Amino acid sequence: MDKTWMLADRRSLRFEIGFENFLKVASDNAKDPNNIPCPCLKCCNNGFGSIQFIKDHVFFNGIMENYDRWKWHGECSYAARHGLSEGSETVEMNPDLGIEVDDVGNEDEELSTDSNEFMQFVEDGDKPLYPGCTKATKMNGLIETFNLKARYGLSDSCYSDILILFGTLLPDGNELPGSVKEVKKFLSTLGMEYEKTDACLNDCILYRGLHVAAQRCPTCTASRWKLAKDKSERVGVSVKTLWYFPPIPRFRRMFQSTFSAKQLTWHAKGRKKDGMMRHPADSPMWKMIDTKWPDFGIEPRNLRLALSSDGFNPFGAANSKYSCWPVILVTYNLPPWLCMKRKYMMLTLLISGPKQPGNDIDVYLQMN
């Protein structure tokens, strides 16, 4: 198994993915899930605790970079179950784990193509910003500068000029792109793309489908474009915009992670079923859906999503009359200690102001 991620910055995505694979090895081979050796720099496998205990320690202390053979976490039996080669050593399977080699191997084959492509971009993003740089990677630099562009409303041409300027100031061989087009292409490859759709000022319609070329709303006759100070229409500048963040690429990323894919079926395989209400899967509504649509309910990987929306003022006290509405998806397949974590909550729509959509929010929800 690849151990090079242990040398990466523990705040990087590459380290996070590699660490999740390590935790899976440790969890699958642990005799006592609450008594697993901790490989952080403080414990050095002499301290013991749960998976969450190890996560916290590694986050604060870092991991032992020279621990390249996970003998205290059952790497041998894990390799045997996955059909991996361990050289000339003899490796025995642990029959108590109850995992079939063929099933795991088939799952890896289904994910191999997309996962390898994704990991290629992760490795590319984790390159140092310039040769010898230890404070920032290519991905960190792009995300932080792009956040500044969005926060202060910089135009694409201004952002491109800034990238070119930074490129001349950094040492030769730096990884900083030279245009905003390259940055957007890189971010979209990681599943961070978005779509912009014009909307009616009074929330009547979206300018898509049959209305994609309309200049006025067919319901209220309001103009599609903003008005200048002289009351003339500024053609091309929408009076209201909907931002759509497709969730499907992000769900694919979740299923590519062995840890997340396992947690997405927790409601069917890991939930305690004793008649007590501990999870939405215990509710009558969940059971009603399974009964009404049995083909959907029989597959535990089918996603059960909750939709939540509320307004907020992005300008603080500077403009108390403006309201922006995000629409967020919550995945109920996950265990209760994960489904409300920010990591697994997905922003899918962002409805711009200045006024709240109210009951007309269903006009925007058709994007989902």
What single-letter amino acid sits at 38? Answer: C
Residue 40 is predicted with a pLDDT of 85
Tokens standing for residue 194: 């978005």
* Per-residue model confidence as pLDDT tens digits over 98-118: 333 333 333 333 343 445 556
Q: Which of 57-71, 77-91, 110-124, 349-363 has the lowest mean pLDDT?
A: 77-91
Cis upstream peptide for 354 (omega within 30°): yes
pLDDT, tens digit (0-9, with 9 covering 90-100), for 273-307: 888 888 889 999 898 998 999 888 888 889 999 88
- What is the reported pLDDT for 106? 35
Q: Taking the CA of residue 61 as centre, how many other CA atoms within 13 Å lie in the half-sphere pointing to its CB? A: 16
181, 312, 321, 322 from 317: Cα distances, Å? 34, 12, 9, 10
CA distance 109 to 105: 6
Residue 82 predicted with pLDDT over 60: no
pLDDT of amino acid 191: 64
Q: What is d(CA 210, CA 218) in angstroms, rounded to the nearest whole number? A: 11
- Range scoring the smallest mean pLDDT among 66-70, 82-86, 207-211: 82-86
309 pLDDT higher than 80: yes
- Which residue did the predictor score with more confidence, 97 or 111? 111
Q: 67-76, 132-141, 169-178, 311-320: which has the minimum mean pLDDT?
A: 311-320
pLDDT digits over 226-276, tens only?
A: 888 887 878 888 888 888 988 888 888 788 778 888 888 888 888 888 888
What whole-number distance in Å separates Cα of residue 125 and Cα of residue 3? 18
Q: Which residue has the higher pLDDT, 171 or 320?
A: 171
Rounded CA separation 338/241 (Å): 32
Span 54-76, average pLDDT? 80
The predicted pLDDT at position 190 comes to 67
pLDDT for 64 equals 83
Classify residue 58 as exposed, middle or buried by CB count within 10 Å of its CB (0-12, 13-18, 19+).
Answer: buried
Predicted local confidence at residue 120, as pLDDT: 61
DSSP class of 123: H
In this prediction, residue 121 has a pLDDT band, given cuts at 50, 70 and 90, of: low
**Can you spell out the DSSP letters for 179-215?**
SHHHHHHHHHHTT---EEEEB-TTSS-BSSGGGTT-S
pTM comes to 0.56
pLDDT above 80: residue 125: no
Nearest residue to 9 (alpha-carbon basis) of 117, 118, 120, 125: 125
**Average pLDDT of the chain, as a whole number:** 78
Question: What does the pLDDT read at residue 119?
Answer: 62
Pick the residue with more confidence: 93 or 170?
Answer: 170
* pLDDT of res. 118: 60
- The answer, yes or no, to whether residue 30 has pLDDT greater than 50, is yes
40 vs 117 pLDDT, higher one: 40
User: Do 241 and 199 form a contact (C-beta atoms < 8 A)?
Assistant: yes
pLDDT at 43: 80
pLDDT for 1 beyond 50: yes
Question: With the C-alpha atoms ordered 214, 219, 225, 230, is the resulting torsion angle positive or negative?
Answer: positive
Is residue 95 very low, low, confident or very high in pLDDT (cuts 50, 70, 90)?
A: very low
How many whole angstroms separate alpha carbon 48 and alpha carbon 54?
Answer: 8
Each residue's pLDDT tens digit, 203-232: 888 998 888 888 888 888 888 888 888 878
Sequence-ordered list of residues with C-beta below 8 angstroms from that of 310, at least 6 positions apart, any chain: 325, 326
pLDDT tens for each residue of 334-345: 998 888 888 888
* pLDDT score of 139: 79
Q: Are strands 233-238 and 48-49 parallel, antiparallel or unpaired?
A: unpaired
